Every structure is written in C-alpha cells, then in structure tokens.
Amino acid sequence: MADVEEKKEPEMEKKDPEAGGKEESVDISPHWFETYVQPCVAELLGSALFIFAGCLSVIENASTTGSLQPALAHGLALGLTIAVLGGISGGHFNPAVSLAAWLIGGLNIILLVPYWVCQLCGGMIGAALAMAVSADTNFENATGAAFTTVKNDESVARAIGAEIIMTFFLVFAVCMGAINEKSRTPLAPFCIGFTVTVDILAGGAISGACMNPARAFGPAVVADYWTFHWIYWVGPLAGGLLVGGIIRLCLGDKKIRLFLK
C-alpha cells in the first residue's frame, strides 16, 4: 500500500507455439509513464487533498472542539487518500515516509527527490486552496494553519522530541503495515490514519503534531510564517531515519533485514 518496489525485471508473455513450434516472448514490462510519472502525479494530488483537509480543519476549528476536529480530519483524510491512491504511488504524501520507505527498499531511489518535490508542491496547493475557501478572519486567527505552537526557545527541545517520537510512530505504522511482508495488512491505510489521529490528540499541545514537512511547508509559504519552522523538518526526518534503521537492522523480513537472515 505504501511502497513502490524497485523496478522489476520485465515479464515475458508466452505466445502460441504453433508457428514453427517455438515459443515467442514479448516484453510486457510497465510503461515508463506508469513507473515514473503516475506515482509523482498521485503524490502531488494526494498531498494537496490531504493537506487541504488538514489545514481547513484547523482554520475553521471551533474553539470548543480543541484538538478533536483537526485530529479526526487529518487522520481520516490521510487514510482515505492512501486507500484510493496507494496502489499508484504507495500513498506516502510525506517526505519522512518516503525517506524511510527508500531506506528499507520500498521506494526506487530515482523517485525519492521527485516524490519530495511533488509532496511539497502539493502542500502549497492544499494550503492555498484552504485559504481560498476560508473566511479571512478565520484564516488570520489560525495563521493559515501554520504551526505556531512553539513560542520560545525553552519549548524547542520538547517540540523536537515530540516530533521525533510521533513521526516514528506514524512512519513505523506505514513501513510495518504496508511494506514489510511479514506484517503487511489490508487495513494499513486506516491504521496509518488512526496513528495520525492518536498523535495529534496526544501531542498536539506540545509541538502541533506535524509529523510531515510538507504539511508544515505549505501553510508556512501561504501564510508567510516561518518561526521555528525548521523543527518540522528536523523532527520528522529524524523519526523517519530511526524507523528505517530499526527495520533494516532487526524488525524487517528477510528481504529487508541486513543481518541474521
């Protein structure tokens, strides 16, 4: 669901051997458009839709609901988007997820940087669409759904720690639920969405529970708010690296694990 495997060897289709008594083979490997272009388009569209829903839920959030409305909106939007687009791109929509997927062999390295570019562009599109349909007052009050939780230097260490742990939880759910063969499950899209919901409910007050550089980047561009923005790159990418390392070293299946196969 959330993996794009390395390009497989071309499959060969056997023909009717009546002519000359020989079997003729034809290359039926995937077209380059399906291998390289479609996944990037799916990442762009999926990131835009997910981040649009997430940003809008923050901008229009009634103060009485607290973190519940954004948590449910982000989790449900991500789960549904993975369910419908995961078969094309793997349904990453998050640079930290793509990094971990590549580390454990679930993403072709040729697609890593294009995925990141598409996810960041999708983040900007989603945030811009959220601004377009929001009331100006609500948009300004929410700073365009940019992450404003960290107010001073004293909160930085706590925020980075929270982002690393929460991203670890999310990326771990993706890699083990959708890429690792021994633990892969058809329920992966919804498990991943539920993980986002749990993280936001648990740690939203500490760091905003971003877990996704694209989710932070889009609103930051649209609202022009960059205070402590670097936290939402360092924390999630560090969490993704940790997941990739742990799965490669001890928790992955024989295909993924580096040692003791």
Residue 4 lies in a domain: no
Residue 194 lies in a domain: yes
Residue 5 lies in a domain: no
Q: Which CATH number belongs to the domain containing residue 236 in this structure?
A: 1.20.1080.10
Chain centroid, CA 3 distance in Å: 11
pLDDT at residue 25, as a whole number:
57
Residue 257 lies in a domain: no
Strand ranges, E, within the chain: 12-14, 25-27
Residue 58 lies in a domain: yes
Residue 87 lies in a domain: yes
Domain that holds residue 93: 32-251
Burial, 27: exposed, middle or buried (Cβ in 10 Å; 0-12, 13-18, 19+)?
exposed
pLDDT at residue 260, as a whole number:
76
- The mean pLDDT value of the chain amounts to 90
* Number of compact structural domains in the chain: 1
pLDDT at residue 156, as a whole number:
96
Residue 69 lies in a domain: yes
Low-confidence ranges of the chain (pLDDT < 50): 6-17, 19
Residue 156 lies in a domain: yes
